[in-house]
Structures are given as C-alpha cells and as structure tokens.
Structure 1
Amino acid sequence: MIDRRAPEALSAQARTTVATADPSRPLSLYLHVPFCATRCGYCDFNTYTAGELGSSSSPQSWMEGVRAELDQAAALLAPGRRVGTVFVGGGTPSLLGADGLADLLGAVRDSFVLAPGAEVTTESNPESTSPEFFEGLRAAGFTRVSLGMQSAARHVLAVLERTHTPGRALDAAREAAAAGFEHLNLDLIYGTPGERDEDLDASLDAVLSVPVDHVSAYALIVEDGTRFARKVRRGEIPMPDDDVLAARYEMIDSRLRAAGMAWYEVSNWARARPDASPDPDSVCRHNEAYWRSDDWWGIGPGAHSHVDGVRWWNQKHPATYSASLASGSLPIGGHEILTADDRHTEAVMLRLRMHQGLDVNVLSGAERIRADAAVAQGLLRTVAGAYVLTDRGRLLADGVVRDILVAQ
C-alpha cells in the first residue's frame, strides 16, 4: 500500500539547526535507488520490483524527485558546504546503466560542489554490469565500486534467493579493475543455513583471486517481514546459529589478515599498510562518515539523513516521495533532534566498532570503570588513550557496548 500521508515538515528548531550547521563540517550524500529486478528473500531494504510499483512510479519520476531534493538540500544547508563522499545504494543502482548513473552524479554536481578527491561509490549487481558499464562509470567520475557477491556456492546463493551466478561477481571485479577502478569492494554474507566451512573457504579463495582492496562481510540476519523470516517461522530453514556465525567470522578475519588486509570496522576490511594498519586510501570514507556521526543527507525514498544532531527520514514509497517534491515540500516522513544523551550513546556504539576505538575521555567515570572491567576480561585493550576491541571483543561487540552503557 502506498503511504499517502502528507510529508512532515522539520520543526523550526530542527530547520534552524540544519541551516546553520558549520559549513566546514564534513558532508556526505547518499542517493537511494529503490529499484530491483527481483526481491531477495532475506532483504528488508526499501526496494521495489517493477510489478510492485506498477504505474504508480517510474525511474523518470524518481529522478525528477531526486533532482528536486538535491536542490532543496543545497538551498537549506549553509553556503559553501562541499561534498566529500557520495554513495549510490539500493536497491540495484546498476539497473540504471552507466548513463543513468552518470546522470545521477551530474545532478549532484548541478546542486553541490564535490571536494577535491571526493570518494564516489556505487553499488552494483554483478548481473547488470559489463566492461562498457564500468568504463562509463569511470568516465562519469565514479571512483569506487561495491559488488554484491554474497557467496561462491550455488546452493548458498539459492537459499538467499540471489539470481547471479557464483563466477559473475569475480568477472565483474576484473572488468572494473580493467576499466581503471583502483578501489573495489566485494560483499559477503556468512552463516546462511546450509553453508559449510568449505563453502565459505571457497568464497574467500574467490574474493582473494581478484583485485579488490576492500571486503565487507555480514552475518545473515533474519529480518521480520521478509520471506526468509517466514520460512524460518514455518520450520523450512533453521535460524543461523550464533556459534557458527562466530566461527565463520574468525575464519574470515584470519584469511583476510593473512592476505594483507586489516579490519577497520567490525564488518569491514581494507588493504593493509606495511605496519598492518588499514590503508586510508582503501577504507570506505563514506561509511566512516556514518560511524563518526558526520553530516550526511540521504536523497531518495526512505533515505535517512543526519545534520548536526538532527535526524530525519524520507517517505518510503517512490510515488509519495516524488509527489511531495513535485508539490515543493521536502519528502520527510519523520524527524528527531538528538539529545546529549542520544549523541553520547551513539558515539559509544559507533566509534567502538572502529579500529581507532573510543577515546577514553568520551566516557564518564562510571563508564570507564565498566570499560576497564571489559579490558580485564580481554574484550577491550587500551591503545593511545582509546579503548579498542580485541579480536574476542569484536565477536561480542554489541554486548561490550551494552555493558559500558548499562546505566543509560
């Protein structure tokens, strides 16, 4: 059902905060492409197939909305703000083709100025790419590509309801490298029911056989409302096992480290420098902006934004999103102003997941006592005035955060 509620306006306080945010603060743009050829059973992202959209929306009306939202964002933010990172996600951005993605980046440049050396990433489904596609992206100004591989095992892809063949992601990575992309990511999902150790080992062999400088690996999560969750509820497939997930994570980390990569966030690894630390040129700067709570504006249906402690999210359906912008309104579905406690909680939650760790001065006295207890338990270590997760602590990261914030 299409949500036809009127868009929500930012409160006067929220609007003032956004409009007067320090223009020297880093700014990122996320652009959401809501279109998919098919829906994977585990996916709960805000995406739509052509059959689900029917005649209520089209790529053209979505693009018109995107251009309008970019213009409104540029008008509301303080003058002089430059964009340091752009990330096109979805959905399946590669369904737009190289020309469509070039138009999207052109719309960004029409409204904003990209900072020198800006990182510009697009996600891509391997099945909707080609050598010509990657050449077109490079010519348009994209600097980084993220490919959804998930697994090299056919039966694992079948359980996930992924439609690409196991080898296509590897061919796509080689084609992207041949087109001049130095920064390439492959996504893996581990812990899928039916996945064996040898399946994951083969997937890692495959990842490391191509010229990628970044790997993201996520444990399969059963999200409410998905086909996967319904199958689990009916007993057709089992829930992912926590012990298996932990063992698989350790396997991934060990293999990637041995291949010259380093973790820089719990689920992300980048090419390592000689001192075994992550190479800043290979980390995803856009994702780092989220984990540092920098400012970002999410463009597109259902996209989330954050500017100087104000968070808001767009209306989800593409038709409602476009109609709101056509009427001259921002397509906001809701917003909140973060309190000091909210910001503190998020700083602990997000920064502790990063390899730089959490500055000890961020914590209160009582929180430091609890963090020191985690050090004694081997879950944290102190490095240059920061608490950093140990290898064991990364397996229990959410629990470490909860224990530190127990009084919040």
Structure 2
Amino acid sequence: MTRRTGSQLKPVAQLKPVARAGLLLAVPALALISVGVPLNVLIYDVPFLLAFPVTVVHGASIVLALVRPRIAAITSVAGLLLLVVLGRGDDLGAPWPLSVTALLTQILVIVVLGLRATWPVGLCCWLASVAVAAAGAALLPRGDTEAAVTGNIVLLTSISGGLLLLGVVVRQWQQIRSQLVRERAVSAEEHAKRVLVEEKARIARELHDVIAHSMSIINVQATTARYRYPDLNPELAREFDEVSAASRQALTEMRGLLSVLRDEESGGALAPQPGLTRIPELIENARRAGMRVEAHDLAVLDGLGASDIAGVAAFRIVQEALSNVTRHAAGARCEVRFARMDGDLIIDVRNDAPEPGVTPGPGGGHGLIGMQERAAILGGSVRTGRTEDGGFEVHAVLPLDSSDEQERQDR
C-alpha cells in the first residue's frame, strides 16, 4: 500500500511549477464558473445557451493566463464585455455593471498576468477592464444608484490595480533574483576553472624544476665527458658533444616555458622542491598546528630511491590530504600510513568523522583533482571517498620510478 501511494504521488511531485500552478488556479476557476453560470442565468437574465460558454471562457482565462498571457487578456476582456452587455436583469439589488463572480474572475486574471506576463500586458488588461465596466455603466443604465455603480467600478479599479502592481513588483524581483543566481553560477564555474588552471600550472612548474635539474646533470656530464676520459674515442666524444648541445637547447626552451608558467606571485618561489625526506617534517608541523595526526611506517620512506617527480607528488598528496582534514574535519583524529609494494609507494590518509557541531569549511574538490593529476603523471592512481564511520580516506598508489611504469605500460 505504501509503495502504491508513493507511485501515485510521484508524478504530481515531478510536475513543472507552471503545471502545479495551473492545477491550483483550476480550483477557483471551476468554482467561479460553477457559481457564475446559475448567477448569470437567474439574477442577470442571461440565456443559458449564452451564459454557459461566456462564463466558461471568462473563467478559463485564469488558467490560460499562465501559458498564453496575451490571449488570456483578450478573452477575459471579451468575456467581461459580453457579460456586461447580456446581464441586464431587473434585480436592482445585484451588483452592477459587474457581478461578483465576474469581478473576482477578472481580478484573478489581472493578478496572474502581473506575475506571468510583461507589465504592458497586465496594464492593458486592467485599463480595458475598467473601460468596459465604465462604458457598461454609462451606456447601459439599469436604474441602480450612482453610489452602487461607482462603488462597483472603484472596487475593480483599486483591488485589481493594487494587486497588478504587487504582481509586477514580485515578477521583477524574481527576475532579478534569477539573474543573480545565474551570475553566481557562472562566477562559481569560472572560479572553478581558474583554480584548476592554477593547480595545473603549479604542477607544471614543479615538474619543470625537477626535469630541469635532471637535464642540467645530463648537460654537465656530456660536456665534461671528454675531459674526464682523455682516451675517449673521437666518435663517442662527438656524440657527447651533440648530447651536450641538445641538452642546452632543451634547457633554453624549458626556461622559455617557465617564463610563461610563472606569474607575479610565483616568480619569487626559489625554494627547492619538497620530496619524500620532508614528509616527516610535514607531519610534525601538522601536529604543532594542533592536528591529531598518527604516522605509521615512516621508515618505508628511507632509502626508496624514488624519482624526484614521485617525491614531489607524494609530498603534495600528503600535504593536500592533511589540509582537507583541517578544512572539513577540524579536530578529528587522522592516520597516515606508508607501504611499499611491487615498486609502488602506497599512501593512505584517513580521518575520523568530524566532531559534533563542527562546520565543514568551503571547498570545491579541486585539491582532490590535483592529487589525481599528480598521480596520473607517474602512472599511479588516487582513490578518495567516505569511510563507513563517517570519516574520509585518501588512498594513493605512486610508482617510485616513472620510467619503469612507462615501460610496463608500453609492454
């Protein structure tokens, strides 16, 4: 029974806002039609064959105003005009020139137009409605007192005009609010893209520093080969000279690339790139900052012989993982584990669930993307996700020698 009820309510919940509003407006529209038809026939002496279609068209304009505002404005004014022309009963106690149902129907139409259409459409419908009422009172007198007729017209003018103004204000406010939401979404998207580009540029700068160091060693070794080995074969000496020239050219081109990657803020970053040996220092600094960090198997990092790129990637992954704990689970206990398996360095950073009352800090997940990109450069991987106890885990697998990993992929 519960499933059947849920399946019956689901289509209604999935309706668009306009459709839901149409269903809500259909209720007063049907009520006004049901009351208006006998009222026009019995009190205002309108023939049933005319009263029924005119009242239905006039009442249906309420719902029609949601989807076709201009057509609804025309049909409502036309229906109002026909009701005024046809409804000239002898009961002088009935409101004139507009019946109660016609008055309420026209007010609802004008309100919906103010909320859904541009303000000229609602204004024109309001002016036309007032003109029809005034013309009916002036051209089709019925003998009612002047105060009663004037009050009927003033009632339409004041209530519908005030609600129209309110509807226009609400619609303009909604449009401004929607525009602000769109602008914020665009700004957030642009900020996310900028952060990703900056992170990629930072990774590229770090890789440049590592690769430039290796190229410099190659250049020095190739340049000094003929001096370190006086008996070197002339052909081999020429080979070393060519290697030296090629490495110098590569260094020159890399310096040009670096000038593009460096910005005003990073131009003075001349400190050596961090590696595996600085990870214990990183963890100790986190403890001094108040984090509850437990490190396991730090001895695995000693004597690994990892490439410089792998060392930088490992350091940055641990750094970003600890920063995420600080931002999103301040005060939670954190464990950092290291292991070595088949030439890969395995890093596992796991934290407990945040303490009650701790509000997670802002973050767009760009740090996690940076971890994955660093691991991908080496042919490794990073897996992140929630733990069963409500905490968070970062599991990274980094090949210690990217060249070996590349050879395995090529095979």
Please confirm whether the aligned pair reaches a TM-score higher than 0.5, indicating the same fold.
Answer: no
The structure with the largest helix share of the pair is 2
The structure with the largest strand share of the pair is 1
TM-score in terms of structure 2 length? 0.20
Q: Which has the higher contact order (CA 8 A, sep 6+)?
A: 1
